[in-house]
Structure 1
Amino acid sequence: MSAPATEGSAPGNRRLQQTQAQVDEVVDIMRVNVDKVLERDSKLSELDDRADALQAGASQFETSAAKLKRKFWWKNCKSGASRRKEAVVRGGRGMGEGWRGASKELNVSNTRCHGLAY
């Protein structure tokens, strides 16, 4: 049999209920916090994946840009070679003014292609 309830047990019982209510409140807050942490982890993982994809795209762009730069550098050099050949042909024909223009053109073309001869 249980002991009869006394007046002193009522305040203790109320204190126990208050403590239990506080514990329940803390548990609820902790559950919300854990959910937020899991959601944050998911978002960080997604952001990390996007950053990796962006880095890969940037590397590919850098490689493509370098190839394109080389392509047009060579095209410019070859174009300069054509102009030099044309200038030599004009100069070889003995055109007085054409010869002076051709020599100026030669100097400009050589500086563009770093002195490479074609």
Structure 2
Amino acid sequence: MRLWVFNPLLTMGYTQTDAIGIYGFLLFVMSAAKTVAVVRSVVGFLMWQYRAVRIAKQLEVSRTSPRRAILSWFIPGVNLFKPSRECFCSPPRCALASCGASSGGSSR
């Protein structure tokens, strides 16, 4: 950023002290924007995971609670000592099977 901001400020007639001040302010603004973007991304991902695990639990595909799924990101050791083996214990139940839908070919 120094090359494409600092040197043009000097060529526009700003003193070196003013250019350093403007450069510092621009660095602060860009850092703040980056922090906001990262926080929103993390919150959005955690909301998506909570909803996905909640829906999977309602469909009886997952035994993990949504709360535990979110807390496992903040307590990494939980996944090492209490592994979730639901993917390997039994094949997932088809959501359409509970509605009486047939898994065969067409009815024509």
Q: TM-score range by the shorter chain?
A: 0.3 to 0.5
Give the structure with the higher percent helix: 1
State the TM-score, normalizing by the size of structure 2: 0.47
Task: Say which one has the larger Rg.
Answer: 1
Q: Which has the higher contact order (CA 8 A, sep 6+)?
A: 1
State the TM-score, normalizing by the size of structure 1: 0.44
